[in-house]
Structure 1
Amino acid sequence: MFDDFMTRATLAGVGVACAAAPLGCFVVWRRMAYFGDATAHAAMLGVALSLALQMSIFTGAVAIALLMAITVTLLSGRGYAMDTLLGVLAHSALAFGLVAVSFLSGVRIDLMAYLFGDILSVSRTDLLVIWGGAAIVVALIAWRWSALLTSTLNEELAYASGINPKREQLILTLALAVTVAVAIKVVGVLLIAAMLIIPAAAARGFARTPEVMAATAALIGAISAIAGLRAAYLFDTPAGPSIVCVAAVIFAVVSVVGRKERMGP
């Protein structure tokens, strides 16, 4: 079964959807879309460092994503708006990463694969990393689900309940770093934020509880991965962008249907 590249690609896409879905819900609820995008952009520097130091892409991407998140936390509130800090750090890290990659001699790199993903070349080892990372993210979110929801709803309520919102923010940051690292191979640095946000935003339109929204987002992400890969195979289009396009179409359909229902007959 695993000798079929399409089977491996499908399993990889579903794995990323499972990791991104619950985390994407918190990104939407907390309005952290720009933070997710910034973390993904910064991961490109992690890719360059991984190649230079001959270590796994996963390790380098997680390290840089966490470093950027910690840097933002330390610098926030010191005269710079959060979106300004994220913009500076994200685009600087992406630029330095691309420049660093160009200096690597003796290393053959497909830059487009890192920017837009190369899901069709996923190996058995990549599958282990993707599903291992997805398991870590899901377990982390499930473990802290109640505390994360409370701190997202109201920080004062969280403090009153004995919950430290800063700690929950750190847990989300860690989960985001792991998700970005496992998703690079599937959709690439530039499209990771889309897989975090679009399925969650689509699920928000008709989910009645946070748990249902997370499960629905995972389902939408998985459908997007499977249908996007099928479309890429049939029409010879890039696989990563095709997956995101399907997710965007689902979001558009859900939005239109939801609007008609609210307007009534």
Structure 2
Amino acid sequence: MLDDFLIRAALAGVGLSIAVGPLGSFVVWRRMAYFGDATAHAAILGVALALIFSAPVTLGTLVVAAAMALAVSWLSTRGHAMDATLGVLSHSALALGLVAISFVPGVRVDLSAFLFGDILAVTWADLAVIWGGAGLVAALIAWRWSRLLTATLSRDLAAASGINADREGLILTLSLAVVVAVALKVVGALLIAAMLIIPAAAARGPARAPETMAVLAALIGAFASLAGLAASYQFDTPAGPSIVVAASAIYLVSALFSRLLPS
């Protein structure tokens, strides 16, 4: 029989995959990898502020991640060089968060749990937050799917179809903030972007339609979560990084077969 904490961890990984599959596909299509990284790094600052003001960590993470995502989106419309801007904001938020945590009085914080995740410590209450947030994001993307896809393909095509591309981009931005908030305990701030990008990148080769890629990315994320947990249990390795390593292995296999199979 599986231990109770392993069941909760497996459910957390599968629940998160429901959101990171379709959302990660848009991150790959829109080349938003660094954008996701900056939002995830800001989560540590959210943790620090939540501890300072005695607020729920998930709420603090969500607020700061959303603020970072909105700030980056605003700057991108003002003609800033985004690679440099994202680099500055990402690392500044991470460093500021780490420094701020050290000033929280009377609180001992395991930073590794926030940086690399602590999926084995997920509680049933955490599961409710993870599944609720992931389900909300997945439902929102499903509802806006055709509009999001059109805005991703071409802003001109979106305008001709009566679709506000900026509004659809804002929906993705806020969805990313929600995923960062609920994923913090599963894989940590440093690995959230990896779980957004790697399953979607692995699904890109074999997929022949956008919908197929989104579903396949979710399945790959779920399988990587289960495989990573199994490896962590067997070899006593960190669970969060083990999940990302499993996803990376799936990506390598997918890339190899995509090269071997005729197009």
Give deviations 1:20-65, integer Å, cap 9, x for gaps: 1100000000000110111001111001111111111111111111
Find the aligned partners of 1:74 and 1:36 in 2 and give their Cα distance: 15
User: Helix, strand or coil: the match of 1:27?
Assistant: helix
Aligned match of 2:69: 69
Aligned-partner residue type, residue 98 of structure 1: L
**Match in the other structure for 2:99:** 99
Question: Does the CA contact (< 8 Å) of 1:45 and 1:94 recur in 2?
Answer: yes
- The two structures, once aligned, show a CA RMSD in angstroms of 1.4
Deviations 1:165-190 (A, max 9, x none): 00000000010000000100000000
1:209 aligns with: 209
> 1:17 Cα shift?
1.0
- Cα distance 1:77–1:216, how it changes in 2: closer, same or farther (>3 A)? closer
**Cα–Cα, structure 1 residues 161 and 50, in superposed 2: closer, same or farther, change >3 Å?**
same
Partner of 1:35 in structure 2?
A: 35
C-alpha separation in 1, matches of 2:148 and 2:77: 23
Q: Percent identity?
A: 66
Unaligned runs of 5+ in 1: none
Deviations 1:108-161 (CA, angstroms, capped at 9, x unpaired):
211000000000000011000000001110011011100000000010000000
Asked if residue 126 in structure 1 is aligned to residue 121 in structure 2, the reply is no
Contact 2:58 2:182 in 1 (8 A): yes
- Deviating more after overlay: 194-203 vs 102-111: 102-111
1:86 corresponds to 2:90 = no
What is the 5 A alignment of 1:1-265? 4-78=4-78, 80-262=80-262
TM-score (norm 2): 0.97
Aligned-partner Cα distance in 2 for 1:95–1:81 = 21
Query: C-alpha displacement at 1:75, in angstroms?
Result: 2.6
Q: Tell me the CA shift for residue 80 of structure 1.
A: 2.7
Return the letter of the residue paired with 2:223: I
Task: Quote the Cα distance in structure 2 between the aligned partners of 1:58 and 1:20.
Answer: 17
User: CA contact under 8 A between 2:35 and 2:72: conserved in structure 1?
Assistant: no
Report the alpha carbon displacement of residue 2 of structure 1 after superposing the two structures with TM: 10
After TM superposition, where is structure 1 displaced by more than 4 Å over at least 4 residues in a row?
none
Q: Distance in 2 between matches of 1:78 and 1:84?
A: 14
Contact 1:18/1:138, CA 8 A, preserved across alignment: yes
Q: Report deviation, 1:68.
A: 1.1
Distance 2:195 2:75 in 1: 28
Paired with 1:171 and 1:2, the residues of 2 have a C-alpha distance of 38
The secondary structure found in structure 2 opposite 1:157 is helix
CA distance in 2, matches of 1:167, 1:37: 22
The offset of 1:78, in angstroms, is 4.3
The farther-off stretch of 187-196 and 13-22 is 13-22
In structure 2, distance between residues paired with 1:247 and 1:70:
29
- Count of residue correspondences: 263
- Residue identity opposite 2:135 in structure 1: A
